[in-house]
Amino acid sequence: MARLVLKFGGTSVADIQRIERAAEKIAREYKAGHEIAVVVSAMSGVTNKLVGYCDEITSMYDAREYDTVVSSGEQVTAGLMAIALQKRGIPARSWLGWQLPIICDDIHGKSRILDIPTDEIEKRFKGEEVLVLAGFQGVTEKNRIATLGRGGSDTSAVALAAALKAERCDIYTDVDGIYTTDPRVVPEARRISQISYDEMLELASLGAKVLQNRSVEMAMKNNVSLQVLSSFNDEIGSDLPGTLVTKEENIMEKPVVSGIAFSTKEAKISILNVPDEPGVAAKIFEPISNANIIVDMIVQDVSSKGNVTGITFVVPKEDAKKAEQVLSGLEILKDAEVRVNQDVAKISVVGIGMRTHAGVAEKMFRTLAAKGINIGVIAATEIKISVLIAQDYSELAVRALHDAYNLEQAEV
């Protein structure tokens, strides 16, 4: 007997037929003798519709009222799922954020979970009851509903799994796991059976948007094993092939490279003729940060000519214009030249094995060079190397790298 948290995303509860199908899966895990808490999202499309209502009235809505409106989607699914489980003879009860309760801070619209008391849940488990929790929501000290931000049901599920010390948190979604890269670009892309939290975070932030990043961070912090599974498959979590996201120590074979991520959502900004004096980086990036622009891949020229240097970094494409305006107003850059290049793609090679294996970067550069692809900027962490290239070459680069690291082959 295990204790499991099963989370079903919007497409997995999109209509009554799919809710019934999800209920079947839950029923089979239940009948296998497990203790089960279920977390549900809103039926797909519902949250967007509710957000649209708020936007239609005003763009300056009160986040507390927004939370009251949008949290209703998960409420509906929770009640329907409880009914679907009861129909299968399973004692089930829905729980809204304020009922369990899921205690949150009062940063409405992007609240954080502070505490989940487990007494009631433990009591219900003893009575062999399945709990169906409405995801995405909690209640503040002031007795107001707060939501956790888009994709927040993943966070609800992981937080619940952590509070309950669950053996596993199964995330049922519309894909059957995390792939070595986007299968639409590389048809040979392979599902990864196990991946570490660190790798998942690097892949998620780069576009493999299966799990909300915050939920992966929370899983890592609380040591909750996450399993990404397809709800459109007939098996259940314990038998189903998917991707297990877990701590590095649990992964037996550590592949040098786990996946290739890419993104065309960033623009490159280069500043030439920057005065090469102490504190100049702060004078540039403070105003950028104050304008709420997220900066990545900062590189400063190694060789400065005389008393000037060059600085390059990337920002989200939609913020490039704003960043340029901010920079053009800076006294320190009055003699500098700012160049913006929207035509770039960021390609990243991710793998925990890099920590112990040399030559990964060298193979990346060699592979891209062999295809005649020029590398703009390079940035690296312990388990990731990212390069900027011309956007036109992004798919070619991903395919070549996927092939170079033999990612289409089954893991050892």
Q: 138 vs 255, which CB is nearer to its own copies?
A: 138
Q: 123 vs 357, which CB is nearer to its own copies?
A: 123
Separation between Cα atoms, residue 245 and residue 251, nearest integer Å: 9
Rule CB under 8 A: choose which of 1, 33, 58, 249 binds its own copies: 58
Q: 97 vs 259, which CB is nearer to its own copies?
A: 97
Rule CB under 8 A: choose which of 5, 26, 96, 269 binds its own copies: 96
- Cα 34 to Cα 91, 128, 266, distances in angstroms: 13, 9, 45
Residue 65 near its own copies by CB under 8 A: yes
Residue 171 near its own copies by CB under 8 A: no
Q: 80 vs 256, which CB is nearer to its own copies?
A: 80
Contact 167, 75 (CB under 8 A): no
Minimum CB separation from its own copies for residue 170, in Å? 22
How would you label 314-338 residue by residue, b for 16+ Cβ within 10 Å and e otherwise?
A: bbbeebbeebbebbeebebbeebeb
Q: 120 vs 337, which CB is nearer to its own copies?
A: 120
Stretch that binds its own copies, among 86-94, 192-200, 237-245, 353-361 (CB under 8 A): 86-94
Q: 139 vs 260, which CB is nearer to its own copies?
A: 139
**Residues ≥6 apart with Cβ < 8 Å to 47:** 10, 41, 70, 73, 136, 150
Residues 97-136 that bind its own copies (CB under 8 A): 98-99
Contact 336, 309 (CB under 8 A): no
Residue 375 near its own copies by CB under 8 A: no
Residues 290-329 that bind its own copies (CB under 8 A): none
Q: 61 vs 232, which CB is nearer to its own copies?
A: 61
Q: Which residue has the tokens 């205690």?
A: 103
Separation between Cα atoms, residue 108 and residue 64, nearest integer Å: 6
Residue 228 near its own copies by CB under 8 A: no
Q: Within a 10 A sphere around the Cβ of 14, how many other Cβ atoms?
A: 19
Residue 1 near its own copies by CB under 8 A: no
Minimum CB separation from its own copies for residue 82, in Å? 5
Residues 6-35 that bind its own copies (CB under 8 A): 16, 19-20
Contact 385, 378 (CB under 8 A): yes
Residue 12 CA to its chain's centroid (Å)? 18
Minimum CB separation from its own copies for residue 290, in Å? 28
43 closest CA partner among 70, 9, 86, 5: 9
Residues 141-160 that bind its own copies (CB under 8 A): 143-144
Counting Cα atoms < 13 Å in the Cβ hemisphere of 267 gives 17
Rule CB under 8 A: choose which of 32, 51, 69, 379 binds its own copies: 69
Looking at the chain, the number of H-run helices and the number of E-run strands are 12, 20
Residue ranges in contact with its own copies by CB under 8 A: 16, 19-20, 50, 53-54, 56-58, 60-62, 64-69, 71-73, 75-76, 78-80, 82-84, 86-87, 93-94, 96, 98-99, 143-144
